[in-house]
Chain A
Amino acid sequence: MTGTRSETRNGRSEDVLGAGAQGGAPDGADLLTAEDVVVRFHTKKGVVHAVEGVSLRLKAGEVLAVVGESGSGKTVFTRRAMGLISGGRGTEVSGTVTYDGTRISELSGKALSAFWGSEIALILQDPMTSLNPVKRIGAQLTETILLHERVTKKEALERAVELLRSVGLSEPERRVRQYPHELSGGMRQRVTIAIALSCNPRLLLADEPTTALDVTVQAQILDLLADLQARRRMAMLLVTHDLRVVRSRSDRIAVMYAGRIVETAPTPELFAEPKMPYTEALMNAVPPVAGPNHVRLQVIPGRPPDLINPPAGCKFSPRCPYAQDRCLTEEPPLRDAGSPDHQYRCWFPVGSPAWAEAKARNIERGTSAAGTPVTEEMVLT
């Protein structure tokens, strides 16, 4: 998979529709910058701290994967970054989001939605629900094109057909007249991808684009996305809970936990040297392809944190096998691991002497400082 990807990424072949980056930020310059983004929902049960101080940079043409469990704030962050979530009526937002020099976090109404569909596009998790059931595929495709570009209906329809062809749908001329329920899940996700790409956006936000699909279809859709991303030199924020999915398909990874970024690094580096125990745990929670059969999977003990009453100190400490007293009271800041490209939030980063000591202490007493049982086989890394 890695091979295919690097080929297409370096290939840079022009395709008919992939006008690619139209001016603006060249490859390598920051396209999307999030600074200290906070989203809180005020509910009857209390304040939900969905996103707490997330800062991210996404360069033009780059693929950034945001990885985390459900409830880690990755979806909320994505929607806030785009501006789909705004302040008011029980929703509190702060921090800034800058897209290609425009501070879009301060825009609203038409000024903001002018970016949507044309510059920034979104793909949702479940293609069964993200298409309007009573509108034809063609209408759902052309409405974006007609809204953002000065074309006739006929031209828009021709482009819709071309788009469907480019996402690998057979008989595109017939598809535009069909309704969503006449297509399978994988086909529908291809349609939503075609819709997202219809106005050549420079930034694609893909929120778990394959989670709701059959495993066999997942890889096809991911490869399609990777291919289109590379050909169009489009930046992509790929949200997922599955590290495997992004290993060969992202340039950088940001791991989120309890609304915070807990580790961010270039993809190869993250896999080679995870610093944050949560990242390590995510990797271990996935069955290794080359490993023996019937080996017990290492699950992450406990449950995702309560976002209304998050734990003090490090948010992962209640579930972390290496947790010490300090972790329970003091929240670690984001620190550089050698280079500013690789940052993590941990007092006892995996692989360090302090970590080895913490690990030995917890195995000896049989529990972490938070009281989570710890056995030797749990921390075999």
Chain B
Amino acid sequence: MTLTTPAGPALTPAGGASPAPKPGGRHRPALRRIRKRLVHLLIVLLAVTFLSFVVVDLLPGDAAVVVAGDNATPEQVQQVREDLQLDRPLLVRYVDWLGGVVTGDLGSSFRTGQPVAEALAQRIPVTFEITIVAQLLALLIAIPLAVYSAYRPGRLVDRASMTIGFGAAAMPTFVFGMVLIVLFAGGVSSILPATGYVGFFEDPLGNLRSIILPCLTLMIAEAAVYRQLLRSDMISTLQEDFILMARSKGLSARTILLRHALRPSSFSLITLSGVNIGRLLGGTVIVETLFAIPGLGQLIVQAVFNRDYMILQGALLFVAVAYVVINMLIDLLYLALDPRVRRDA
């Protein structure tokens, strides 16, 4: 997975008036990038799914044994193996599965018989919601703190947020999660549920209450890292001549920070945030387990334990697609944020 970092000021082509842009030419770089990413996506998907097929096959233990149960006779196990078509060679099974994917059939769980698509449809919205809300929270907290810290480095806000942030980032996720449970769900107060997930469409308020603690748990370490990253990028941006120029225009500190310095400082933050979203969409087993959230992480872990290949393959397919798509969106975001990328794309 390659992440394109935007060209820094040093890479900007020196001088030379550009030819007049052709009508409609402004959207070309975006289309070209999407096309490039789609080719990229296909290769990644083939590699990821094939590799996981092979690895799962190499795992000790036999799906047929697991599925048939502890008391099954060898004949029964053999019967299950034939039912599940596990007796066929690996490559044949992979091509078969791939053919199913292309026609929209992800297969069914070995264990429960539930269609994989259905299982994923239950889990993905949960993981998606928690990931996005946690990311937004992290950015919402990190950006103002980083901007102010960069504006007044070494002062109270900077030092306090750095100390708290490092503390939070250094603590294992589940410890922080348990602290939150003690504080809000049973120990000190009981204003939020400790476990469980309520769907948004069943009960929007209940949904909000049920995701607050998991999202806070996921967000804290990321907010700390985001603040640190944006703060240092922002500090170096503030040394730039164009900031001095902006000051000499008489612009207020607020305008300079938010209108002039923030955007050119945000590229690494966006890159990292994209990587994190991609990673979190693959599920967060610890947080899901701690708060009993039926997310993708739990589904994947169970599938591994149960040798439930079909579920596992389907979930991995989704994770890979999500990762590449998120990176594509980040790439497009660069186009929107940095005019220099548009040119030398």
Contacts and interface: CB of A to CB of B under 8 A. Distances in A.
A132 B261 CA distance: 9
Interface in A80-129: 82, 84, 110, 113-118, 121-122, 124-126, 128-129
A6 B12 CA distance: 39
Interface in B259-318: 259-260, 263-264
Contact of B264 (A116, A132, A143, A186): A132
A298 interface: no
Contact of A181 (B247, B260, B264, B339): B339
A125 B241 CA distance: 9
Pick from A134, A143, A186 the residue with the most CB of B within 10 Å: A134
B343 A181 contact: yes
A82 B241 CA distance: 16
Bin chain A's interface residue count: 35 or more
Contacts of A134: 263-264, 337-340
Nearest to A205: B248
A181 B249 contact: no
A100 B21 CA distance: 47
A187 interface: yes
Contacts of A183: 15, 17
A130 interface: yes
A374 B20 CA distance: 59
Contacts of A185: 14-15
A325 interface: no
B152 to A, nearest CB: 10
A116 B247 contact: yes
B14 A128 contact: yes
B340 A179 contact: yes
A284 B20 CA distance: 46
Contact of A114 (B12, B244, B250, B260): B250
Contacts of B340: 133-134, 179, 181
B242 A132 contact: yes
Nearest to A171: B20
A149 to B, nearest CB: 11
Interface in A141-165: 143-144, 147-148
A151 B264 CA distance: 28
B238 to A, nearest CB: 12
Interface in A283-316: none
A164 B250 CA distance: 20
Contacts of B264: 132-134
B16 A130 contact: no
Nearest to B267: A134
B9 A133 contact: yes
Contacts of A116: 247-250
Pick from B241, B245, B249, B340 the residue with the most CB of A within 10 Å: B249
Contacts of A130: 241-242, 244-245
B13 interface: yes
Nearest to B18: A182
A67 interface: no
Contact of A147 (B12, B250, B337, B343): B250
A131 B250 contact: no
B141 interface: no
Contact of B241 (A126, A135, A178, A182): A126
Contacts of B12: 128, 133, 181
A220 interface: no
Given A182-B18, A184-B15, A84 B247 contact: yes
A329 B257 CA distance: 49
B251 A143 contact: yes
Given A82-B248, A115-B250, A134-B338, A182 B17 contact: yes
A135 B260 contact: yes
Contacts of B260: 132, 135
B252 A113 contact: yes
Contacts of A114: 250
A192 interface: yes
Pick from B15, B251, B260, B338 the residue with the most CB of A within 10 Å: B15
Contact of A117 (B16, B17, B18, B250): B250
B245 to A, nearest CB: 5
Contacts of B45: none
Interface string B43-64: 0000000000000000000000
B332 interface: no
Nearest to B262: A134
Contacts of A184: 15-17
Contacts of B241: 124-126, 129-130
Contacts of A82: 248
B246 interface: yes
B202 interface: no
Interface in A170-217: 174, 178-179, 181-187, 192, 195
Given A133-B340, A134-B263, A187 B240 contact: no
Given A129-B9, A132-B242, A133-B339, A117 B249 contact: yes
A143 B13 contact: no
A174 B19 CA distance: 12
A79 to B, nearest CB: 8
Interface in B179-214: none
Interface string B1-16: 0000000010011111
Given A84-B247, A143-B255, 20 more contacts: A84-B244, A113-B247, A113-B251, A117-B250, A124-B241, A124-B245, A128-B14, A129-B9, A129-B240, A130-B245, A132-B264, A133-B242, A133-B339, A147-B251, A174-B20, A178-B18, A181-B12, A182-B17, A184-B17, A187-B17
27 contacts: A84-B247, A110-B252, A113-B251, A117-B248, A118-B250, A122-B248, A129-B9, A129-B241, A129-B242, A130-B244, A131-B245, A132-B242, A132-B245, A132-B246, A133-B242, A133-B264, A134-B338, A135-B260, A143-B255, A144-B249, A147-B251, A181-B12, A181-B13, A181-B340, A181-B343, A182-B17, A184-B16
